[in-house]
Chains A and B, each alone.
Chain A
């Protein structure tokens, strides 16, 4: 490479090329006091707005202004002091006072006696900065929008949650009122069929109430835990029984069913249990009712068993509202039901399909 000769370009050609370059260029005299501008090309004059006579003989700091970064200026000064090249971006000001971003490379040019000139090639970077500003503004605006939207959404969610609590509260309160109504009327009704009917109704409402109480208690509004229901239902039913004579037992898996099935399942379990208590043990006969539920492949299997007198011994009740209700509810849940004598007692087997819930 060193064997290759320098291209023989006449200096005038070089000067001409620099002068015509669209990149702003400036050369300063390192040996004159305060390193003044010795030469500048047209592009430089165009960008800065000055005439040639206005810049020659003056230091380039004439382009600096109030918002020029002092530390960047200091870096230039330090590089010049040790005669090293430097690249820097500086906010400069045109003759008319408007600022522009000036990216420059300053290179010392030496002869045998040391640094003679500094050559600076520049580029107007204002549009890049404007782009950055615009991006920053856009990003900021987007962030503000997202924040406002998030705020609005959480406010809406809060409102909905409050509304859900309010409705839940009202439903529970209404169930209590309905139950109170039934019981008040029962109290004012002479002993007999009508009074029993009212009390039975109040009990059915009680079972629905237990189901409803458990519905939103765990924060999971979509599911209902049959195991929890069985535990509460059992405690409530057993509280009214003499444990020496009659007992209800439950072996119910913690099956999660859709919330919509809570009421029919509660009614079903109540009806079958109450039915067994009513009919299986005539004349203070001792006995036991057991409730079992387990998950199957396609749904759940429910067994209600008693060790009472059995189906055959019970005279068929033409009104049979309880049994009717049970079969209606099973049909509603698209299930199947089978009643059988278990010798002793009665066993009711129910299969209910469940949509796959966890």
Chain B
């Protein structure tokens, strides 16, 4: 289970944008286990964008289908406006992602394994800390450059 290498300085503040309560809760547990901090869970686009503004998270994990429809795309666009936030899609509907990825840097396809989430967060932490050019983990699909 996960490399859990999120030492204090590598701990990421994560916003979870997910309408499925069970998935969100499990993701929150996993993030906690990996040493990351969940700053909020949002199930619809308005909530997600507002939480993004108020918390300025390091990472936003964004599902495309939310309570108010396929609005995850808009959410990604809005959240990625803030340079402090790295957006990653987490969706079973990767076909809906636009060509420019709406500002997101990649996608984790559902159904995902916890290992993929863990290694993707390690990868993001390394990237943000400017620790060289970390290799993309398996199961994480980067946006086309």
A binding-site residues for B, Cβ under 8 Å:
165, 168-170, 172-173, 175-177, 179-181, 183-184, 187, 205-206, 209-210, 212-213, 232, 235-236, 239-240
Q: How far is the CB of B119 from chain A (nearest CB, A)?
A: 6
Q: How far is the CB of B118 from chain A (nearest CB, A)?
A: 8
Stretch of B8-16, B22-30, B34-42, B79-87 with 4 or more beta carbons under 8 angstroms from chain A: B22-30
Within 8 A of A (CB), among B93-145: 93, 95, 109-116, 118-119, 137-139
B-side interface size class:
20 to 34
Closest 10 CB pairs of A and B: A172-B92, A235-B138, A209-B111, A180-B26, A239-B115, A175-B111, A176-B111, A180-B22, A173-B92, A176-B110
Q: Is the interface of A mostly helix, strand, loop or mixed?
A: helix
- Cβ of B7 < 8 Å from any Cβ of A? no
14 further contact pairs, Cβ within 8 A, besides A179-B111, A236-B139: A169-B65, A175-B110, A175-B111, A177-B22, A179-B26, A180-B26, A181-B26, A183-B26, A183-B29, A206-B111, A212-B111, A236-B113, A239-B115, A239-B118
Whether the Cβ atoms of A181 and B22 lie closer than 8 Å is yes
Question: Can you offer 30 A-B residue contacts whose CB atoms are under 8 A?
Answer: A168-B92, A169-B92, A169-B93, A170-B92, A172-B92, A172-B109, A172-B110, A175-B110, A175-B111, A176-B92, A177-B22, A179-B26, A180-B23, A180-B25, A183-B30, A184-B26, A184-B29, A205-B111, A209-B113, A210-B113, A212-B111, A213-B109, A213-B111, A232-B138, A232-B139, A236-B113, A236-B116, A239-B115, A239-B116, A239-B137
Contacts of A235 in B (CB 8 A): 138-139
Q: Select from chain A the residue with minimum beta-carbon distance to B90.
A: A176
Whether the Cβ atoms of B26 and A165 lie closer than 8 Å is no
Contacts of B20 in A (CB 8 A): 173, 176-177, 180
Q: Select from chain A the residue with minimum beta-carbon distance to B118.
A: A239
Please report the C-alpha to C-alpha distance between residue A180 and residue B90 in the assembled complex, in whole angstroms. 14
Whether the Cβ atoms of B113 and A206 lie closer than 8 Å is yes
Whether the Cβ atoms of B92 and A184 lie closer than 8 Å is no
Whether the Cβ atoms of A236 and B111 lie closer than 8 Å is no
Which of A173, A175, A176 has the largest count of B CB atoms less than 10 A from its CB?
A: A176
Contacts of A175 in B (CB 8 A): 110-111
Q: Select from chain A the residue with minimum beta-carbon distance to B112.
A: A176
Q: Select from chain A the residue with minimum beta-carbon distance to B3.
A: A239
Whether the Cβ atoms of B93 and A236 lie closer than 8 Å is no
Please report the C-alpha to C-alpha distance between residue A210 and residue B115 in the assembled complex, in whole angstroms. 13
Q: How far is the CB of B91 from chain A (nearest CB, A)?
A: 9
Q: How far is the CB of B120 from chain A (nearest CB, A)?
A: 11
Contacts of A240 in B (CB 8 A): 1, 115
Contacts of B1 in A (CB 8 A): 240
Please report the C-alpha to C-alpha distance between residue A175 and residue B111 in the assembled complex, in whole angstroms. 6
Contacts of B30 in A (CB 8 A): 183
Q: How far is the CB of A109 from chain B (nearest CB, A)?
A: 80
Q: How far is the CB of B27 from chain A (nearest CB, A)?
A: 8
A236-B138 CB under 8 A given contacts A176-B112, A184-B26, A213-B109: yes
Q: How far is the CB of A102 from chain B (nearest CB, A)?
A: 65
Contacts of B119 in A (CB 8 A): 239
Please report the C-alpha to C-alpha distance between residue A291 and residue B16 in the assembled complex, in whole angstroms. 37
